[in-house]
Amino acid sequence: MKEAESEVEFGASILIGSEDYCRTCVNGLPVTPSSIRLLGRFQKLLTIKHNNLCQYIELIRSQNSVNIVFVISEHYSKVLPWEELDENLIIPMMIQLINSTDNVLITPSKNFDLTVKLCQYGLNYITGNGKDINYLICDAYFLSPERIVKMIPGNYKSPATKKSDIWSLGIIMIEFFIKIPLRNLWSLQQYTSILHTFCQKSQKKSNSFLSYLIQAIKIAMPTLSINIDDKVMKIIEKCLEFLPSMRPTAETIYNEIKNITKNDNDDENNLEFKNHIKEVTKILDSQNLEGLKVYRPLNELFFLWKLCGSNIESILKPIEQKFARVIIDEYNVCGKNLENSLRTSFKLIILPSSNLKSRLKKLNIDEINNYSSDQAETPNKYVEYIGQTLIVKERNIEYQSYRMRLMRDLLLAYPFTLEILKTECKKDIPPVYRGQLWAALLDVHDDIKIDFDQLDTFTEQPSDRQLMVDIPRCHQYEELMTSPVANNQLKKLLKAWLLANPEYVYWQGLDSLAAPFLVHHFNNLPKAFGCLQNFIQRYLKNFFLKDNSHIIQEYLAIFTQLLAFIDSELYYHLNRMDFCAELFAIPWFLTCFAHVLPLHKLFHLWDTLLLTDSSFTLFIGIAILMQMRQQLLDSQFNDAILLFSDLPDLSIDKIVADSLCYYHSVPPSCGHRKHSSEHLRENATPLTNISLNELKTFHSPRISPTDLINLIDHNRVLLLDIRSTTEFNIFSLPNSINFAKNCYDFNSSNFYTSIKSQLSIAASRKQVICIIDSFLSDECKKVSTQLIKFGYNFVCILDDSDSFLHEISMKNC
């Protein structure tokens, strides 16, 4: 739903949850705070969008109080006064009001002069029918008899029904026609007394409250003239039936009211024409000095509102309540709780938006709106932001305004704009559209719902017991993930994935891997399922087999070889104290770092990962080690264990930058894995298949002939040919140096002293040192191991050298 920037406001409702201090669950863990439970249920309200409903935007937990939440929704300051309520508007308003109460299943067929929007709906649902608050969310004048009975202590937390809302609708319609709210006629005690008398009085002909209520209104205001159409009167009469089962549904009421107005075709045509003229007038009025109205989705506007420095808690908290009441002993603060400064009220508080509107007016609308798919270049005004850190870019209102509009337009044209989307996502991904962009990059479409709906996620499975243990501990620092609703959603998601992939089993860490997709698609489990499915197929193929040891061991072996290639000193230090990758790296790669990084950092990391192939995670691991390099070099075995058990605060920007640097500079074949997915970069070349045991004997990675030729063409390699002199004289690569294995002792340090000058030149030029033999001999491994020991980086071994050299020699004959 899009709204004009100059018209929309944001309203906030305050809910104070019940206190759960010192309470524990059956398993001994603390009870989930009521505010977390509210947050989990609130997610469902975000899916409700209708023209006659004020859209919910976000639920924000208080930072100063555990159990206070702020419910944010769209709001409009235009309210129709009772005295201006024309009788010709009542029926159209009733139709729109019924639309809002009919579970948003009916779409209005006509546009009326006014748009009625229902606000503050669903609050009873998110509070668990009142279980998570210690007070009532209601206006007693609109409560049905069965709801008032539930107000008795001990009963008021029973769930409300849809038929209770029909009663409230009948009271609203009565107020429309008499143009006076009932609270202005009677006090609450007087009104409940009237209702109580009606309930006790025997009604032989009718059990409707309408006639009794109109009689009471005439007694209270004898001069009041009540003119209600007979057909409308019958509808209201049905709404106010004493028994809930006798009240009609909202859809029935809607159809009956539509039948009343269906014969007024001429009036409707005239009304339609008037509305058309009004729309034309609005367009003409928009051509003013302030510029064209800009329409944005509400989630974009609220995101920009927060970027303007607005803080809802500081706005709603009175100044005098920000100070502690009492400070005793060792500066123990008493009385600073936010509960002390708030009274239970359901009045919507309009959040100030003048700062947002003034900032938006300064934006260059032409640059933000005018985007051509043929020209994907960033406007000059925003080029300076591209090189800045992600945190800086995400907090810049002008840049985010431009990026959100651009990504929104590209997503509307997806999949035809996929290549442009990839290009733009390489710059950065706006947080508001991260979930949709991830789904696009993972090639997940709406038809995934068909596959998901065929999976039985309710029947108990063997993995359920382990899921019950792991899920409550998954990302406990993330507010939403700690809610019972999120736990249930995550369980469904994981069970669906396991059912769709019977060859896989549940390994600890799968819950952490699925969590990011659930956070971004909380109300769309099929889309979250599709993202998880395609993500694992691309980046973690066969990692979740029941026997995944050969997959993990191969991955760790390649990771270790890449570490030796990039930083031989660190590799040699870890290898010398027998600190192998199995001790720390398995959770990294099994969860693509979801188990070790907080979600806000993981999101930035995956923004880049989804634009690369399955080998990129190897370089992420190297980049993390590089940030910890000095600490690791200064550590012994036990110190290193402690360091990895509690990782220091890592710069995610540096990890991303370093990972990309290694990814593009290291020859692609050096990261080749036999068990990798088919999702590889365009210039990837395979290597010969060798056994896992043989792979573990290499300290340096292998390089393909194709990658070696590319290095030769760019003068980025030193070639050490250790074949026999005879073989070398028959054919050799240009500029290669021959140190025949039958003439030198590669275990002797004298050999490396003799070629120190060549190695030093290569090191200063950051050239790759490639060792060539007729086949993958032990001598190759000896030379590479010794070079690593002496601190030389970028050492590798030519793969399939015999076939390659033979082919080259035949071409030159």
Q: Is the pLDDT of residue 232 over 50?
A: yes
Say if strands 717-721 and 737-738 run parallel, antiparallel, or are unpaired: parallel
Q: Are residues 495 and 575 in the same domain?
A: no
- Indicate the residue among 671, 689, 707 that finishes a domain: 671
Average confidence (pLDDT) over 800-808: 82
pLDDT of residue 151: 67
Nearest to 496 by CA among 449, 529, 518: 529
* 376-385, 629-638, 665-674, range with the lowest pLDDT: 376-385
Confidence of residue 327 (pLDDT cuts 50, 70, 90): low
- Say whether pLDDT at 449 is over 90: yes
Cα–Cα distances in Å, from 485 out to 31, 238, 522? 14, 37, 10
Q: Is residue 734 part of a domain?
A: yes
Asked if 664 and 567 sit in the same domain, the reply is yes
Please give the biggest Cα pair distance in the chain.
Answer: 121
3-state DSSP assignment of residue 73: strand
Same-domain status, 560 and 666: yes
If asked whether residues 535 and 614 sit together in one domain, one would say: no
- 49 lies in some domain: no
Q: How many domains does the chain have?
A: 3
Cite the DSSP H helix spans in 134-249.
Answer: 145-149, 162-178, 188-200, 210-220, 230-239
Please tell me the predicted confidence (pLDDT) of residue 63: 84
Domain end marker among 488, 518, 539: 539
Nearest Cα to Cα of residue 716 among 661, 760, 767:
767
Mean pLDDT throughout 74-93?
69
- Kindly report, residue by residue over 282-313, the tens digit of the pLDDT: 654 555 434 445 578 899 999 999 998 878 88
Q: Which residues make Cβ contacts (< 8 Å) with residue 212, sequence separation at least 6?
A: 194, 198, 201
pLDDT of residue 103: 36
Q: What is the pLDDT of residues 233-269, one digit of tens each?
A: 999 999 999 888 889 998 898 888 888 776 554 455 5
Q: Is the pLDDT of residue 596 over 60?
A: yes
Same domain, 554 and 533: no
Residue 384 parent element (H or E):
helix 380-386
Percent share of the chain, pLDDT over 70: 82
Torsion of CA 214, 217, 223, 229, to 10 degrees: -30
Domain around 628: 549-671
pLDDT value, residue 51 = 82
| Distance from C-alpha of 713 to C-alpha of 705, rounded to nearest angstrom | 12
Rounded to whole angstroms, how far apart are CA atoms 135 and 142?
17
Position 754 in a domain: yes
Task: Kindly tell me the sign of the dihedral angle through the C-alpha atoms of 359, 362, 363, 369.
Answer: positive
Same domain (yes/no): 578, 635: yes
Domain CATH code at residue 505: 1.10.8.270
Residues in contact with 86: Cβ distance below 8 Å, sequence separation at least 6, in sequence order: none
Quote the pLDDT of residue 250: 87
Can you point out the beta strands (E) in 759-807? 768-772, 795-798
Alpha carbon distance 713, 693 (integer Å): 34
Confirm if 228 and 250 have CB atoms less than 8 A apart. Answer: no
Strand order in the sheet with 56-61: 56-61, 68-75, 9-16, 349-351
Averaged pLDDT for residues 692-721: 94
Say how many Å lie between the first and final Cα of the chain, rounded. Answer: 71
In a domain, 383, yes or no: no
Tens digits of residue pLDDT in 738-761: 888 777 777 777 777 778 889 999
- Helix then strand then coil, in percent of the chain rounded to 5, is 50, 10, 40
Phi, psi of 470 (to 5 degrees): -85, -40
How high is the pLDDT of residue 119?
A: 86
Q: What is the pTM of this model?
A: 0.87
What are the angstrom distances between the C-alpha of 266 and each of 86, 89, 255, 261, 276?
A: 19, 16, 20, 11, 15
Q: Among residues 500, 521, 539, which one ends one of the domains?
A: 539
Of the listed ranges 10-19, 62-71, 267-276, 528-537, the one predicted with least confidence: 267-276
Per-residue pLDDT tens over the stretch 700-710: 999 999 999 99
Residues 714 and 801 in one domain: yes
- Mean per-residue pLDDT of the chain: 84
The pLDDT of residue 294 = 57
Per-residue pLDDT of 106-152, as tens digits, reads 333 344 456 778 888 888 889 888 888 887 777 888 888 888 877 66
What whole-number distance in Å separates Cα of residue 608 and Cα of residue 601? 12
Same domain, 560 and 648: yes
